[in-house]
Amino acid sequence: MPYIYNIIKADYLQRTRSYSFLITLAITVYAAYSFVPPDTANYTTLSASGYRGVYNSAWVGYVFAIMTTVMLSFCGFLLVNSGIKKDIDTEVGLIIATTPISNFKYLLCKQLSNYLVLITIAGCTFSVSLVLFFIRGEGHPFIISDFILPYLFFAVPALFMVAALAVVAEVFLGKRSILQYIIYFFLFGIAMSAITQSGKNTTGAFDPFGLSLVTKSITAQINTQFHESVKNVSFGFIFNGHRKYKPFVWAGISWSAVFVFSRVLWMAFGLGLVYCASLFFHRFDFKQASAKKKTKPAKQPTEANKLTINPAGITREAMPPLVFNYGISPFIKTELLLLVRQGNKWLWLLNAGLWVAMFIAPLTIAYSYLLPILLFLQVTRWSDLVTKEKNNRVHYFAYASYKPLLRMLPAQILAGVTLALALALPVIMRNALLLNGAAILNIINGCVLIVLLAATLGILSGGKKLFEVVFFMLTYAVINKLDITDYLGSMPHSSVYLVVVLSINTALLGAGFMVRNYQVKHL
C-alpha cells in the first residue's frame, strides 16, 4: 500500500500548504485559547446549572476534547468537503481516472487526507490544552492521560466520521454545496441531540460523538454531591455575564470496553459509507453521469467546419468611435448577474419560498430565523463575490484594468449588498410598516456586514472556505440565540450595538481594500 500513502501525503500537503490553512490554524489556536475561560470571563464553555468543575487535568482535558469534537465536527465538514472538487477543477481527476486506482481506494485516500487535515487542527487544540492547563492552573496535578484519552475516544472517531461524510456528500451531491450544508446541519443536530438523550443508551454506544457519557457523569456527580436534580450539561460558548459558578471536583470518566468498541464500530461505519459511495462514484466521467440523468442530447459547439478568425472583420475603421465610461454601474450589473447565476437554479425556488414566507410568518420568526437562514442559503454566492476572479483565472484582466481597486471592488460589494437587501426586503418592509427604524438600520447593517465579511475573508485567504465556515457557525449561533452573534439585530440590544457593527464593517472594509490594493500590484 505504499502508493496509497503517497497519494494521501500529496493530497494532505496540497491542502495544508496554503495561506488559508495557516489562517485556519491561527483561528483554531485563538479559539482554543478561549475553551477554558479565566474566572473573570463573561462566558463559560461547559457548565451544569450553575456548577463548573475546578480546573484540574480532567476538566481541562475533557473540556478541550469536547469543544474540539463538537466545534470541529460542526465546521470541519465545510473545511474538507472539497477534496474531489479540487481534482475536478484542476483536471487532475482526468489523470486519476486513467490510473489503475479503484474508486474505493481513491475515495479512501480522500477520506484519510480529510481526516489528517482535521486531526492536524485537533492537534493544535490539544497542544493549546496542555499550555492552558498551566496558564489557568489552580495547582492541581498534571495527568497526561486526562488529556490524551478524551481526544482519543471522542475527537478521533468523530472526526473520522466527519471525514467520511464529507466524501460521501461530494460523491452524491457534487457541486450542490448548499444542499450538503443543509443536510449536514440536520445530521449534526441529530448527533447533538443524542448527547443529551437519557434512557437505555447508558454505554454511550449509540451517540456518534460519545459525549453523553460525560454529561451523565457530570450530572450524576453534581446530583449526588450537592443533592440537586440537574439533568443537562451545556457546552459551547455560553455567555452569562460575570456569573459566579459553584466549583466541584470532577475526575473524568472510566472508559468501558463496550464504549471503546463502539467508537471502532462508528469508524467502521464511516468506512462502510465510503465504500457504498464508491459504488456510485462518477470517476470524473461527467458525460456518462449526466447522460444517466438527461435524455436530451447535450448541445454541441457550432464551430465545426467553419471559418475561425476573420482578420478582415476587425479593422479600426469599422469600429464605432471609442467612448470611455469609467463609472461602476456596468460592473454592478454584471456582478449582480454573476451573483444570481451562481449555483444551482433550484435553490432560487427555495429562496422564493422563504422570501414569501417572510411576509406571512410572524415577524419575530421571519426576522430571527427565516432571514438568517435565507442569507445563509446564499453562502456560496457571497463567498464567490471577490474570489471568482482568481478561481476563474480572470484576475489577469481584472487587475490590469483601469483603477480596479476603486471601481471593481466597490461594484462587487455594492452588488452583494443589493442582493442581500433584496432578500431581506420582506422583513424591512414589515418593520417599515411598524415604523421600526432601528430594526431597518440593523438589518441593513447586518446585510452589509455579511457582504463585507465575505469580501474581506475572501481577499485575505484567497479562498471561499474561511468565510463559509465562519458564516456557517455565525448562522448556527444566531439561530440558537447567542446574542453576541446577532448580526441582524433581531434581539434587544443597547444603543452601542449599532456603533459596534458599524465599526466592524468599517474595519472590514478598510482591511479588504488595503489587502486588495497590494494584490492588484503583485500578481
Residue 445 burial class via C-beta count within 10 angstroms: exposed 0-12, middle 13-18, buried 19 and up: buried
Side-chain half-sphere exposure of 311, counting CA atoms within 13 A:
0
- Give the interface segment with another protein, choosing from 49-57, 70-78, 246-254, 337-345 (CB under 8 A): 337-345
Handedness of CA 405, 406, 408, 409 (dihedral sign): positive
46 phi and psi angles, rounded to 5 deg = -150, 120
Separation in Å, CA 485 to CA 119, 167, 182, 348, 416: 27, 30, 20, 27, 21
Q: Which of 303, 305, 362, 433 binds another protein (CB under 8 A)?
A: 303
Count of residues in contact with another protein, rule CB under 8 A: 51
According to the binding rule CB under 8 A, does residue 306 interact with another protein? yes
Separation in Å, CA 446 to CA 388, 432, 443: 23, 16, 5
Residue 200 burial class via C-beta count within 10 angstroms: exposed 0-12, middle 13-18, buried 19 and up: exposed
According to the binding rule CB under 8 A, does residue 341 interact with another protein? yes
Are 232 and 48 in contact by the 8 Å Cβ rule? The answer is yes
d(CA 321, CA 156): 67
d(CA 367, CA 64): 34
According to the binding rule CB under 8 A, does residue 287 interact with another protein? no
What's the min distance (Å) between Cβ of 401 and another protein? 3
Are 468 and 78 in contact by the 8 Å Cβ rule? The answer is yes
According to the binding rule CB under 8 A, does residue 337 interact with another protein? yes
Q: Which of 305, 308, 480, 494 binds another protein (CB under 8 A)?
A: 308
What's the min distance (Å) between Cβ of 320 and another protein? 3
According to the binding rule CB under 8 A, does residue 521 interact with another protein? yes
- Give the interface segment with another protein, choosing from 116-124, 133-141, 401-409, 468-476 (CB under 8 A): 401-409
What is the 8-class DSSP label of residue 361? S
Cα angle: 186, vertex 188, 194; to 5 degrees: 105
d(CA 364, CA 109): 46
Q: Of the two residues 257 and 309, which places its CB atom closer to another protein in the complex?
A: 309
According to the binding rule CB under 8 A, does residue 311 interact with another protein? yes
Nearest to 469 by CA among 170, 14, 24: 24
According to the binding rule CB under 8 A, does residue 342 interact with another protein? yes
Q: Which of 246, 397, 437, 506 binds another protein (CB under 8 A)?
A: 397
Cell numbers given for 434: 411598524
Sites for another protein among residues 231-270 (CB under 8 A): none
Q: Of the two residues 252 and 416, which places its CB atom closer to another protein in the complex?
A: 416
Q: Of the two residues 284 and 476, which places its CB atom closer to another protein in the complex?
A: 284
- Give the interface segment with another protein, choosing from 17-25, 399-407, 425-433, 505-513 (CB under 8 A): 399-407
What's the min distance (Å) between Cβ of 520 and another protein? 7
Q: Of the two residues 224 and 315, which places its CB atom closer to another protein in the complex?
A: 315
Q: Of the two residues 270 and 343, which places its CB atom closer to another protein in the complex?
A: 343
Q: Of the two residues 2 and 320, which places its CB atom closer to another protein in the complex?
A: 320
Nearest to 158 by CA among 133, 132, 194, 183: 194
What's the min distance (Å) between Cβ of 514 and another protein? 16
Nearest to 222 by CA among 237, 207, 209, 232: 232
Phi-psi region of 226 (alpha: psi -120 to 50; beta: other; left: phi over 0): alpha
According to the binding rule CB under 8 A, does residue 323 interact with another protein? yes
Q: Which of 1, 307, 433, 435 binds another protein (CB under 8 A)?
A: 307
Strands 43-47 and 234-239, by their bridges, are antiparallel
According to the binding rule CB under 8 A, does residue 305 interact with another protein? no
Q: Which of 299, 433, 480, 496 binds another protein (CB under 8 A)?
A: 299
- Give the interface segment with another protein, choosing from 157-165, 285-293, 359-367, 388-396 (CB under 8 A): 388-396
What is the 8-class DSSP label of residue 313? G
What's the min distance (Å) between Cβ of 65 and another protein? 40
What's the min distance (Å) between Cβ of 38 and another protein? 42
Q: Which of 3, 19, 280, 396 binds another protein (CB under 8 A)?
A: 396
Residue numbers at the binding site for another protein (CB under 8 A): 299, 301-303, 306-311, 313-316, 318-328, 330-331, 334, 337-338, 341-342, 388, 392-394, 396-404, 407-408, 520-523
